[in-house]
């Protein structure tokens, strides 16, 4: 993708539109970093798909892994007498807000994108920013998929010319 704020904004809007749809379809109250991964893999910019090609991960695999991770979380919560589980029959109405982890991912992706200007923001920047997180649902999804984080970091460094 050619650099420039307008191009960066278009890519972020594209990723967020898909992520929002994923959050809404799953009933999530927020757009999480895990939804951003799906947005990256369906974006017109192919860099995230290229970064995950060796792991044979696509958006369908991420959706399946997310379902497994959430199922395990519900099971953990159901045996934890202190934990609370959201009502699975509740419906999230309106536009889901951006979670703190997703906002942090987008901010970090912007920093990463500056390392390879003039190309600008790429979907792989968002993916790498997610991979840098060690906690949370998105991290569990990447672990469930067996994603090699070091390979993603190497891809980041290669694309930045380091």
Print the domain residue range for 10. Answer: 5-88+97-159
Q: Residue 31: in which H helix or E strand, if any?
A: strand 30-31
Q: Using one digit for the tens of pLDDT, what is the confidence trace for 121-141?
A: 999 999 999 999 999 999 999
Q: What is the mean pLDDT of the chain?
A: 87
Average pLDDT over every residue of 64-90: 70
Q: What are phi and psi of 39, to 5 degrees?
A: -60, -40
Which residues on adjacent β-strands are paired with residue 10?
none
- Give the separation between CA 161 and CA 158, rounded to whole angstroms: 5
In this prediction the pTM is 0.85
Domain count, the chain: 1
Confidence band for 5, pLDDT divided at 50, 70 and 90? confident
Q: Using one digit for the tens of pLDDT, what is the confidence trace for 20-75?
A: 999 999 889 999 999 999 999 999 999 999 999 889 999 999 999 999 999 988 88
Rg (CA), the chain: 16
CATH number, domain with residue 112: 1.10.1780.10
Chain-centroid distance, C-alpha 2: 22
Q: Residue 98: in which H helix or E strand, if any?
A: strand 97-98
What pLDDT does 89 receive? 45
Alpha helices, DSSP H, located in the chain: 5-26, 33-42, 47-52, 59-79, 100-113, 123-131, 137-145, 149-159
């Amino acid at each position: 993708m050619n650099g420039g704020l307008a191009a960066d904004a278009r890519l972020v809007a594209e990723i967020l539109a898909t992520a929002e749809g994923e959050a809404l379809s799953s009933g999530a109250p927020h757009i999480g970093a895990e939804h951003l991964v799906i947005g990256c893999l369906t974006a017109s910019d192919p860099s995230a798909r290229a970064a995950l090609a060796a792991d044979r991960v696509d958006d369908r695999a991420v959706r399946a892994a997310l379902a497994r991770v959430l199922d395990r979380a519900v099971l953990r919560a159901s045996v934890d007498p202190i934990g609370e589980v959201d009502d699975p029959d509740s419906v999230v109405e309106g536009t889901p807000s951006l979670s703190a982890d997703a906002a942090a991912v987008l901010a970090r992706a912007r920093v990463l994108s500056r390392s390879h200007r003039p190309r600008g923001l790429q979907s792989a920047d968002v993916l790498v920013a997610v991979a840098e997180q060690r906690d949370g649902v998105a991290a569990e999804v990447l672990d469930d998929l067996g994603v090699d984080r070091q390979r993603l970091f190497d891809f980041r460094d290669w694309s930045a010319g380091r």
